[in-house]
């Protein structure tokens, strides 16, 4: 029984350490693609609180609006 227990424990430990060593080797094998992936990630979100604060405030948009350029086709006549 003890002998069987020892053999079983040794097998489990063997598997455990071999899997640990495999995991430890993985970054080295796939190092380059992993780095590329990190580089390809979108730029971290930039807060846009000020943008929304203005663009949700009707009065502020009215106050800060530049005079509109004349309609480009205002001088047109007839059906376009």
Partner 1 sequence: MAPLEPWEKVLVNSEAFLATDHGELTCIECHSGTNVADKDSAHAGMVASPSEQPDVYCAECHEEISAAYPSALHSTQAGYWTTLNARNGNVPEDHPALDTMFNNHCATCHTSCGECHVSQPKNVGGGLFTGHVFEKTPPMTRSCTACHGSRVGNEFLGKNEGFPGDVHFREARMNCVKCHEGAELHGMTDATAGAEHRLNGEESPKCTDCHPDVADGSDGIEMHAQHGGGTTLSCQVCHSVTYTSCDGCHVAVSEKSGNPFFETQATYMTFLIGRNPIQTEERPYKFVPVRHVPVAPTSYQFYGENLLTNFDSLPTWVYTTPHNIQRNTPQNASCEACHTNPEIFLTADKVQAFELNANRKVIVGSAPGPVEMFLAAIPQPAGHADLASDACTACHAEGIRNAPIFPESHIGFTSDGCIGCHKLP
Site size toward partner 1, by CB under 8 A = 32
Q: Nearest-CA neighbor of 50 among 37, 60, 41, 62?
A: 60
Tokens of 2: 């003890």
Rule CB under 8 A: say whether 39 interacts with partner 1. no
Rule CB under 8 A: say whether 7 interacts with partner 1. no
Among 21, 39, 41, 80, binds partner 1 (CB under 8 A): 80
Maximum pairwise Cα distance, the chain = 103
Rule CB under 8 A: say whether 41 interacts with partner 1. no
Q: Nearest-CA neighbor of 32 among 40, 24, 20?
A: 40
Rule CB under 8 A: say whether 33 interacts with partner 1. no
The distance of Cα 49 from the centroid of its chain, to the nearest Å, equals 20
Segment interacting with partner 1, rule: CB under 8 A, options 1-9, 20-28, 29-37, 53-61: 53-61
């Amino acid at each position: 029984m003890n002998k069987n227990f020892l053999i079983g424990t040794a097998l489990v430990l063997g598997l455990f350490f071999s899997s640990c060593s495999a995991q430890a080797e993985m970054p080295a094998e796939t190092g380059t693609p992993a780095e590329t992936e990190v580089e390809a990630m979108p730029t971290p979100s930039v807060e846009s609180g000020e943008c929304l604060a203005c663009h949700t405030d009707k009065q502020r948009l009215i106050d800060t609006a530049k005079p509109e350029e004349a309609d480009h086709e205002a001088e047109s006549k007839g059906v376009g």
